[in-house]
Amino acid sequence: MSLQLFYHPLSSYSMKALIALYENGTPFEYRMLSPEHPENCAQFAGLWPIHKFPILLDGERMVVEASIVIEHLALHYPGPVKLLPTDPKAALEVRMMDRFFDNHVATPQQKLVADALRPEGEHDGYGTAEARRKLDTAYAWLDNVMVRRTWAAGEEFSMADCAAAPFLLYAHWSHPIPARHEHVVAYLARLRTRPSFARAWAEAKPYRHMFPLGVPAGEE
C-alpha cells in the first residue's frame, strides 16, 4: 500500500489527519506508535528525529505536520470532499481557521496537559493560568465567528474542521467551554456527530484513560 500513517489514536494531531483520510475513504496503512509495535517506533525514529507525529509516507516521500498531510492528500489523492477549496480566497480562510485552531486552541490546551505531566514541585502556575486565559479568549472569539457559520470556514466541511474537532474537544476536557458561548458549544456538538470524527474518536476510546487531566464524567 502506498500510504502509511505513523500515528497514535489518542493524539489530537493524529486525529486531524485521520479525519481527512476518513472523509474521502482514502486507503492507507495504519502504523501505530506504541510499545506494542516497536518496529513502527523504530522506523518512525529513523525517519523523523523531531519525533512529532503524525507523519505520512507516500511511497518514499515523507510528509510531516498534519496540515501538510491534508494538503498533500488534497493534491495527490483528491476525493468527493474538498477539504481545501479550489478558490484561492476561500482556501485562505480555511488555512487561517486551521492556524487558529492549531495556535490558539491546541497550543494552550497542550500547555495544560504538559503541566499535568511535570514532577511535583515543578508545576508552572503562571503558565497554566495564561493558557486558560488564552483559551477563554479563543472561545469568545470563535463564538462570534460561529454565529454566521455551520463549519469553521463557512458552509462546507474543510481542513479547518479536521483541526477543530479534536482540538476543541480536548480543550473542553481541559478547560470547559462556558455555556454562554452557545455557538461554540453547538459547533462542537456538530463536529462530534460528523462520521469521520466519530470514527476517530471511537478508535481512541481504549486509550482515553491515558489523558493526563482525567476523563470527564460521561465521556468514558
- Give CA torsion, residues 91, 159, 188, 200, to 10 deg: 170
Average pLDDT on 170-185 reads 98
Q: Per-residue confidence at 157, pLDDT binned at 50, 70, 90?
A: very high
pTM metric for this prediction: 0.96
Q: For the sheet containing 29-32, what is the strand order?
A: 29-32, 3-7, 55-58, 61-64
Q: Per-residue confidence at 219, pLDDT binned at 50, 70, 90?
A: confident
Q: Per-residue confidence at 124, pLDDT binned at 50, 70, 90?
A: very high
First vs last C-alpha separation in the chain: 34
Average pLDDT on 20-43 reads 97
Average pLDDT on 104-128 reads 96
pLDDT score, position 220: 67
